[in-house]
Amino acid sequence: MATILAALVPVIFNHRFYFYDDTQIGAYPIWREIGEMLRSGQWPFFSAEGWQAGNYAAEGQWGIFSPLTLGIGLASTFFTNALVFSTLVKVALLATASIGIYLVSRNLGARAPWAFVAGVASTLAGFTVYLDSPSWVTGLMVWAFLPFVWWSLRRMCYQQKSPLPVLITGYFLVTVGYVHGTIMMVLLFVAVIVELLVRRKWKPLVKTVSTGILLGLVALAVYLPGVLTLRSTARTQVVANTNFLTVDLTGLAGSALPSNLPQVASWWWGPFAPAPLTYIAWFLPLFALVNFRQLRRLTPGIASVPVFLLLSLMLTLAPSDLGPLRTPVRLMPYVCLATIVLLCVALSLARVRKVSGVRWVSTAAVFIGSVYLGWTGKPELWTVSARMVLIMAVGFALTAVALRLIRAKSKADGVVAAVLVATSLALAFPQHYYFPNPPVQDFKLPADTSKYSTQLSGAKGQAVVVGTPSALDPSIWTESLVGNMWYLNPGSVHNLYSPIQNAAYSKDLCIASRGETCKELSTKLFEIDPTSGKPLADLLRVDTVQIVRDAADPNGAELAKAVPPSGWSVASRTPNTVMWTRNVPLGSVGAPVYASEGTEIEPVSNSSSQVTFKVDEVPASGGTVTLGRIAWPGYTADGATIVDPLRGYLLTVNVAPDMAGKTVTVSFQPPGWTLEIASLAAALLLGAAWSVVHALRGRRRSGSPDGPSSLADRPAGNDPSASAPHPSPDPSLRSGGAEPEYALRKEDK
C-alpha cells in the first residue's frame, strides 16, 4: 500500500506523469494493436504494411512470446482512456516490484521492517521514477520481475524448492524483449554463482547453471531474430562514448539528495539533467551504522548482493554505445536496487549494537558530504535542497531517538522502518513539486482513444505523412499523428515508431525512429527511380500523402504552394496540412511493384508474410521482380532467387528463364525461426519435466518416515515476530543446530 501511495504522488502534480514519450507514442499503441489482433484471432508476428516497424520479432519489445505483454495488450482494449490505463499499468508494476524486493530482502536475511523499507524505497529511486515509469515501460517491466528471479533462485539453491518459480519469473522477464533486463538477469546469475562458489555449494551450482541454460534457450528465441537482422538496421555497431545519457561517479556522489541534478547530457538543453535521475535513497548515510567486521563474516551467505551491485555499477558507468546497446545509464535502477537491499540487509544482520557518538558523527559527515556534492552541481537550487535537507534532518533525528530509546531491537526496527518510509514519502512531495515533469517529451496527444479516428479522413490506401507534426502546436493531433499512435487510426501509414529502423529505408525516406520525416520527402516521393523508371511513391504503394506544415513556415506560405503531381488530387487542405490522394489507387501493399523488361507476371495472392505470383514471360537472360516490401533477412523464395534489393531495401527476386508458366512464392519467417521455436519448446518441455521430477521426489521424501526435514524451512530466528518460515541468508551458516551469527542476541529478544 505504501508503494501505491508513493506511486500516486507524481500524479498529484502532473496527472499525465505516467503517459510520456515512449509510453505515449510507442508502448501504449503497441499494447492496443496487440490486443485488437488477439481479439480478432491473430498473433502479432509480422506486418508488411508496417514497413520498418512491422518486423515484430526483430523489434523484440512487441513481446510476441510474453504473457505479460500479451495480457496487457488484451486488457488495453477494454479501456477507452490511454492515460488511465497506462497509469494503472505503471502503478501495478511498481507494486509488483516492491513485493519482489521485499521477498528477496527477507530471503537474504533482512528483518521484515527493513525488507519493507527496501521494497518501498527502491521504487522511489530517481531513474525509476523519472524515466522508466513515465516513459520506458519495458525497462520497468523487467526491473519489476528481476527481484522475483533472485528470490526464487535462492529458494531453489538453499531451500531445495522447485525450479518452476525461477523458470516462470525468468520467462516473464526475458520474453518482454527488453535486452537490458536480460543482461541484468545474466549478471544476477553470475552473482549467485559467485556466491555458491564461495560457499562451495556444488549441487545448487549445478541447478543454477541448468536454470540459466534453460532461460538462455528462451532468450535465444526472443533475441536471435534481432541479432540476425542487425546488419540491415540503423543500430550502431561500434564501441564509443558520445556522453549521451552517461553518468559518472560525480553524478552518483550526491545520490542521497532527492534534489540532486547530475551532469547527464541528453535530449534536454544543457549539461545537467532536469530531474534527479541518480537519486537512490535519502537514508544511505545509515551505512555508517553497519558493523562491517560482523558483516564481513556474513558476506559469503549474501555475496550475490555486493557482486551484483559491483557488476551493475560497472555496466552503468560504461561508454554510451556498446555496439547495438546504447545508454547504459538505463541500468541505474539495478544499482539503486542492489544498494538499498544491501543497506537494509546489512542493518538487519550487522547493525552496531550500540550507536556511539563517533558513528553518529560519521553518519552526519556522510550526510553532509552527499548534500554538499549534490548542491555543488546546481547551487542555484539551494532553496530546494535546503527544504529537502530539513526533512531529511528530521528523519535522521527521529531515527536516532528511536535507536537510543527503544532497547528491543525488533521494536526499534519497526519504528525506524516507519520513520524511513514516512520520510521517503514526505520527500516525494517537494521533489515532485519542484520537478513535476519527466525529462522526456510529452507529445500532449489526447488520452481519449475515440479521438484517433478522424485523422487522414478521406485517405486512400496506404499513406505517408511528410514532416514533423510534433514540432507544431498540439492542435495538430486533430489532423495528424506521430509514432505508433497511428495504430489507433483506421488508416495505414508508413510513419510508425521503430527503435531498430531499416537503415536503407530510413535513409531513403529520411524517416526518423518515431516516424517523422524531412520536408523534402514530398518531392522525393515523385522522383523517378532510375532502375525501374517508376516514381518512388509507386514502388512504396503510396496512395495518400499528407504534408504537414513546417515549423519554420509559421504562416503556411510554403505549404500553400504545394501542388500535387499528375494523377493526384488535393483531398483536403487546412492551415497546417494538405493531403493528396491518387486518382486511381494502387493498393495491395507488399505485392509486386516492378518487373524488369521482358518479364511479365500475374499476382496470385498477397499477405503480410507471403506473396505468390505467376510468371507469364521471362527473357532468356532471366528477369527480376521487385515487391513493395522491405527486404528483411528471413525472406525465402520458392521458384526464384533473392537478389540485392532495389534502392537497397525493396525486396527483389531473380526469376530464371524456365519459370515461364510457373508460380513463385516468396515467404517470410524471422531468420533462424526453426531454431528459435525449437529452443523455446525445449526450454518449456525441459523446464516442465524438471519441475515434475522435483515435485515427485519431494513427495517421496515427505512421505518417508525417516525423511529429514529441510533446516532451511524452519524459522531463521532472526525475526521472532514472523509467523511464517523465513530462510536464513545461507542455511549452511548453522552448525549443529546453533543459531547463525546474525541471529538475535539474548538481550535483544
What is the tens place of the pLDDT at every residue in 584-614?
Answer: 999 889 999 999 999 999 999 999 999 999 9
What is the average pLDDT across 306-334? 88
d(CA 737, CA 725): 16
d(CA 148, CA 474): 41
What is the average pLDDT across 286-306? 92
What integer pLDDT is reported at residue 702 of this predicted model?
A: 65
With contact defined as beta carbons under 8 Å apart, do 740 and 294 qualify? no
pLDDT in tens, 654-704: 999 999 999 999 999 999 999 999 999 999 999 999 999 999 987 777 655
d(CA 696, CA 687): 14
d(CA 145, CA 122): 13
Q: What's the mean per-residue pLDDT of the chain?
A: 90
User: What Cα–Cα distance (Å) separates residue 627 from each residue in 45, 472, 612?
Assistant: 20, 35, 11
d(CA 89, CA 18): 9
- The yes-or-no verdict on residue 718 having pLDDT over 80 is no
730 is written with which cell numbers?
545461507
What integer pLDDT is reported at residue 358 of this predicted model?
A: 82
- The yes-or-no verdict on residue 734 having pLDDT over 50 is no
Q: How many CB atoms lie within 10 A of CB 574?
A: 13
What integer pLDDT is reported at residue 703 of this predicted model?
A: 59
- The yes-or-no verdict on residue 391 having pLDDT over 80 is yes
What integer pLDDT is reported at residue 355 of this predicted model?
A: 76
d(CA 583, CA 125): 56
d(CA 118, CA 325): 29
pTM to 2 decimals? 0.91
What integer pLDDT is reported at residue 269 of this predicted model?
A: 67
pLDDT in tens, 503-562: 999 999 999 999 999 999 999 999 999 999 999 999 999 999 999 999 999 999 999 999
Which H or E run includes 344? helix 332-349
Question: Residue 646 forms beta bridges with which residues?
Answer: 650
Nearest to 384 by CA among 498, 274, 479: 274
d(CA 21, CA 32): 16
3-state secondary structure 225-273: HHHHHHHHECCCCCEECCCECCCCHHHHHCCCCCCCCCCCECCCCCCCC
pLDDT in tens, 157-201: 999 999 999 999 999 999 999 999 999 999 999 999 999 999 999
- The yes-or-no verdict on residue 241 having pLDDT over 50 is yes
385 pLDDT band (50/70/90 cuts)?
confident
What integer pLDDT is reported at residue 735 of this predicted model?
A: 31
What is the average pLDDT across 35-64? 94
With contact defined as beta carbons under 8 Å apart, do 558 and 551 qualify? no
